[in-house]
Structure 1
Amino acid sequence: MTQLDSVAIVENFWREVWQQPQNPDAIDRLVHEEFVITSGGREIIGREPFKAWVNEFLAKVHGFQFHIVETFQNHDGSRVASRWRVTGRNNGLMGTQPNGVPFEMTGTAVWEVGPDGLLRHNWVERNAFEVHGAITREDALANVF
């Protein structure tokens, strides 16, 4: 049995889908048909709903930049952990009013990689509480306008 280079699989996903120029349609080739992302207390199931979620997220951040911090895998490549950082300006993220406030979001993604090399599940933890506070604070808004 050949061990997968799952770090390369996940980092390729980051580059193709989230880094400039973002291409959510790459999801069709990179994730399993029944892919699940668990993020922010909810599950999104299936490729098309996941692509819609990615497009919605990208639309809510002006100047979106995705940075890979580090990525590593378990012994057989079935699980990958990846730390990442997103920077941009608020355009309605997390249900807030678009105000152009700059922010930085950090997070960790744990991935399940199938034996076929397709991504099957992604569990995401991120500093949403801190980001929400930063993009809605009165003093942050005063510095933008």
Structure 2
Amino acid sequence: MMNKSNSSLTHTPEKLVLEFFNRVWHSPHELDAIDELMTTDYSITTAGKVVKGRNEFKNWVGEFQKLLLDAKTESIDVFYNKKENKVVSRWDCSGRNNGLFGLKADNRFISFTGIAIWAVKDGRLAECWVERSAYELYQNLISGEKETDFV
């Protein structure tokens, strides 16, 4: 595993987000990268829930990745403001269903889209707000379709 220690501190907000996706949301799912890419007090608002603190976020990601096996998030679009303190990404997340939404783990390939807005502070991601196509994903999982694709 390649160590990119402190590399995020010299990145543009765009590169910071792409590094987060590549290291945390691609195999081998380097959850410890969260320690260098996020602030200690990092928080994320997603699915009606606020996860506060870098360690709590790391636990949340780990639990989510247990429900979405082989999870992979790809950025479709990413841009940031002139002050470089906000960055937005439109993305696609995919993997195999292992019990999302408390439903049966059927190992089906699934994908869903979303948009994330991050605040950047001192060269790290500090806060995030996520909107994702969870309702559409849920509807397809309960419908019994063989494959779900929201690309």
2:36 alignment counterpart? 29
Contact 1:102 1:135 in 2 (8 A): no
* 1:48 alignment partner, SS class: helix
1:100 alignment counterpart? 107
2:96 alignment counterpart? 89
Counterpart of 2:129 (choices 105, 123, 126) is 123
Residue identity in the other structure for 1:118: R
Contact 2:27 2:70 in 1 (8 A): no
CA deviation after TM superposition for structure 1 residue 101, in Å: 2.4
1:136 alignment counterpart? 142
CA RMSD for the aligned pairs? 1.6
Residue identity in the other structure for 1:22: H
Q: Normalising to structure 2: TM-score of the pair?
A: 0.85
Task: Give me the whole-angstrom Cα distance separating, in 2, the residues matched to 1:136 and 1:43.
Answer: 26
Q: Normalising to structure 1: TM-score of the pair?
A: 0.89
| Higher fraction of helix | 1
Gaps of 5+ in 1: none
Residue identity in the other structure for 2:93: V
Task: Give me the whole-angstrom Cα distance separating, in 2, the residues matched to 1:49 and 1:100.
Answer: 27
Task: Give me the whole-angstrom Cα distance separating, in 2, the residues matched to 1:33 and 1:102.
Answer: 34
1:58 alignment counterpart? 65
Count of paired positions: 138
Contact 2:117 2:129 in 1 (8 A): yes
Contact 2:90 2:116 in 1 (8 A): yes
* 1:24 alignment partner, SS class: coil
